[in-house]
Amino acid sequence: MKEAAVKELMRRLHEELESADRIDPELQGLVRDLDSDIHRILKTGAGAGEAESLMDRATALETRFAARHPVAERVLREIIEALGKMGV
How remote is the C-alpha of 21 from its chain's centroid? 19
pTM above threshold 0.75:
yes
Count: domains in the chain:
1
Give the C-alpha separation, 67 to 47, whole Å.
32
Q: What percent of the chain has pLDDT over 70?
A: 99
Residue 1's pLDDT is what? Answer: 57
pLDDT digits (tens, 9 = 90+) for 32-60: 999 999 999 988 887 878 889 999 999 99
Domain span including residue 25: 3-85
CA 36, 56, 66: angle at the middle one, nearest 5?
A: 90
